[in-house]
Amino acid sequence: MKVCCIGAGYVGGPTCAVMALKCPDITITLVDKSAERIAQWNSEKLPIYEPGLDEVVKKCRNVNLFFSTDIATAIKEADLIFISVNTPTKTCGSGKGRAADLKYVESAARMIAEIAQSNKIVVEKSTVPVRAAESIMHILRANQKPGIHYDILSNPEFLAEGTAINDLLNADRVLIGGEETPEGHQAVEKLSWIYEHWIPKKNILTTNTWSSELSKLAANAFLAQRISSINSLSAVCEATGADVSEVARAVGLDSRIGSKFLQASVGFGGSCFQKDILNLIYICENLNLPEVAAYWQQVIDMNDYQKRRFSQKIIESLFNTVSDKRIAILGFAFKKNTGDTRETAAITVCQTLLEEGAKLDIYDPKVEPEQIIDDLTHPSVTESPENVKKAVQIHSDPYSAVRATHALVLCTEWDEFVDLDYKRIYQSMMKPAYIFDGRKILDHERLQQIGFHVQTIGKKYQRAGLLRSWGIVPQL
């Protein structure tokens, strides 16, 4: 069998790599319109950072996994084509800011229709609105050449960045939606056969196409909702003296609720959660279900509130002014173990501090410096990119980032931040020295003993100075 995948990004790349690893009898060609991206996939430095991905790509590349810009040949030769192009939120026109922009999916479908000379199974892997498969089908059938048959399947990807390889190798489930016709069933069987190379058949779920499309949006909406739920309680904790970690633990031990995805934070980010919920909201509004739309909108509103609340807390703690103060930002990616910054909470935090006149010293172990500058100078973030460039310095080392700063703001939960030498950091900072832990990963008691003023999410700390006056904090 020959497989082609259109779109060599965060989804297409790892998915095809693992598929190639597990299916030596299948040839997979991953194509992209970006020649630069394909060149990177063919080089020593892959275009995305994902733990374990390098090894898998090295094993399969040019054996049964190929990266190419020759989209036409790959489509022509393939029996089965995955579409894994990006589906960003629309930035103009009707549905602006909410609806998914399907222009890349549509252009991929048109290309298939134009080039195909034999039967194809077309699989939508990108997250799309419910009934998108129908649109793809319309395009393909309207341009169908005689004797060519198309089957459209929905096969949403549930991998999370940072753990993509493990998620793909040990997927909780694989979901395949297809048409309820004999041809549709056959197409589902063919795709299922690929996954059966490594996923137990009982974990391969088949549904109708619409259920499959909606399940992907629903799964992301549920996950995001849990984070907004615990984040809403973090505000209550800070106001009352409860500790959100204790609350999350107590709640999560109820087996009906479960303990995962209850980590209060500065706010969720990533390319999927916000986009998919906005998409769900847009669909609900179009289906005249305003109550449902309002319900899910609240998950996004709570996330925005959390990001704002954390940023405001930094400013208030620093005597209500950060103008010309140096502030270190540790972590810029939307979560650890990825270099991806899409929708990262760090952008909101930096934007707020920059608007207040702060100077930022930013360090992230994997995000490229140009990416940080691009994000912070984007027209949606600032009207004066030149001023932002002057106010931001990117560092390749955390100790250089924190030197002579008034505060350290931790935005991403990278493991390496836990083990930094905080005594050394304290000594190199301005006093009073503040730490704002947006991920709740640091040892706050120890930091207070060193002399830091510590603020975090969902727990109120006494000021270090106050503790010291009680003789609790040893002097350095």
The residues assigned a catalytic role are 272
- Whether 433 contacts 421, CB under 8 Å: no
Nearer to ligand ADP, 1 or 115 (CB): 115
Number of amino acids touching ligand UDX (CB under 6 A):
19
Could you say whether residue 352 binds ligand UDX (CB under 6 A)? Answer: no
User: Closest distance between ligand UDX and the C-beta of residue 5, in Å?
Assistant: 16
Count, residues in the chain? 476
For ligand ADP, which residue of 4, 5, 6, 388 counts as binding (CB under 6 A)? Answer: 6
**Cα–Cα distance, 255 to 257 (Å, whole number):** 5
SS3 117: coil
Residue 376 interaction partner, one of ligand UDX, ligand ADP, none, beta carbon < 5-8 Å per kind: none
Query: β-strand 392-395 against 407-410: which pairing, if any?
Result: unpaired
- Interface residues for ligand UDX in 67-96 (CB under 6 A)? none
- Cis peptide before 432, with omega less than 30 degrees from 0? yes
Other CB atoms within 10 A of residue 170 CB: 11
361 binds ligand UDX (CB under 6 A): no
Site residues for ligand UDX, 310-339, by CB under 6 A, read: 334-335
For residue 156, what is the DSSP state? Answer: -
Taking alpha carbons only, the member of 445, 437, 438 closest to residue 467 is 445
Binding mask 112-151 for ligand ADP (x = CB under 6 A): --------------x-------------------------
In angstroms, what is the minimal distance from the CB of 340 to ligand UDX?
A: 8
Interacting span for ligand ADP (CB under 6 A) from 93-101, 104-112, 113-121, 237-245: 104-112
The nearest distance, CB 14 to ligand ADP, in angstroms, is 9
- 341 touching ligand ADP, by CB under 6 A: no
When asked if residue 73 is in the footprint of ligand ADP (CB under 6 A), the reply is no
Could you tell me which residues come within 8 angstroms of residue 390 by beta carbon, excluding any fewer than 6 positions away? none
Contact indicator for 177, 213 with CB cutoff of 8 Å: yes
Residues 277/221, Cβ–Cβ less than 8 Å:
yes
Please name the residues in contact with 108: beta carbons below 8 A apart, sequence gap of 6 or more. 6, 7, 83, 85
Task: Report if residue 37 touches ligand ADP, rule: CB under 6 A.
Answer: yes
Binding of ligand UDX by 159 (CB under 6 A): yes
The smaller minimum CB distance to ligand ADP, of residues 104 and 334, is found at 104
**Residue 175 main-chain phi, psi, to 5 deg:** -110, 125
Residue numbers at the binding site for ligand ADP (CB under 6 A): 6-12, 32-34, 37, 71, 84-86, 104, 107-108, 126, 271
